[in-house]
Amino acid sequence: MITCNSSGSVDSMVVGVDQRMIILSRIPKEDAALIQAYTEKHINTLHYTSLQTFHCFVEGRLKTYFLVGLDHKPIHYSTHEDFLMAKRIMAAAMKDGVSELAVMVDTLDMDVASLIDGLLYRNYEFTHYKTKAKSQTIRNINLITSSLKIKDFNTMCYVYTAIYEGIYVARDLVNMPPNDLTPRKFADIITSMVKGDNITIESLNKWALEKRKMGGIVAVGKGSMNPPQLLAIAYQGDPDSTAVLGVVGKGVTYDSGGISLKSHANLEFMKTDMAGAAAAVGVIRALMLLKYPVNVLAVLPLVENLPSSMSYHVDDIITMYDGKTVEIKNTDAEGRLILADAVTYAQEKGATRVIDLATLTGACVTALGTVRSGMVGNDQEWMNRLFNISERVHEKVWQFPADREYEEQLKSDVADLKNTGGSEAGAVTAGLFIKQFVKSDTAWIHLDIAGTAFCEKKDETGFVGATGVGIKSILELLKGGIQ
| Coil/strand/helix, residue 8 | coil
Residues 46, 59: Cα–Cα separation, whole Å: 27
β-pairing, 295-305 with 373-377?
Answer: unpaired
CA pair distance 181, 173, nearest whole angstrom: 8
458 is in an annotated binding site: no
State how far the alpha carbon of 341 is from the alpha carbons of 159, 325, 439, in Å: 33, 12, 13
Question: Does the annotation count 212 as an active-site position?
Answer: no
The answer to whether 169 and 190 have CB atoms below 8 angstroms apart is no
Q: At what angle do helices 426-435 and 335-348 cross, to 10 degrees?
A: 30
With 0-12 / 13-18 / 19 or more C-beta atoms within 10 angstroms meaning exposed / middle / buried, residue 441 is exposed
268 is in an annotated binding site: no
Cβ burial, residue 341 (10 Å; 0-12/13-18/19+): buried
Which positions ≥6 away from 183 have C-beta within 8 Å? 221, 226, 227, 228, 229, 251, 253, 302, 303, 304
- The active-site residue, picked from 206, 222, 336, 372, is 336
The DSSP string of 151-215 is: HHHHHHHHHHHHHHHHHHHHHHHHHS-GGG--HHHHHHHHHHHS--TTEEEEEE-HHHHHHTT-H
Pick left, alpha or beta for residue 229 (phi over 0 → left; psi -120 to 50 → alpha; otherwise beta).
beta
Cα dihedral 74, 78, 84, 86 sign: positive
- Asked if residue 82 belongs to a known ligand binding site, the reply is no
The pair phi, psi for residue 445, each rounded to 5°, is: -130, 135
Distance from chain centroid for Cα 35: 39
Has 262 been annotated as catalytic? yes
Catalytic residue among 185, 262, 324, 349: 262
Question: Is 334 within any annotated ligand binding site?
Answer: yes
3-state secondary structure of 325: strand
Whether residue 324 is annotated as binding a ligand: the answer is: no
Ordered strands of the 317-319 beta sheet: 317-319, 325-327, 417-418
Tell me how crowded residue 366 is: count the other CB atoms within 10 A of its CB: 12
Give binding residues for Mn(2+) as ranges: 250, 255, 273, 332, 334
**Residues labelled catalytic:** 262, 336
Give binding residues as ranges: 250, 255, 273, 332, 334
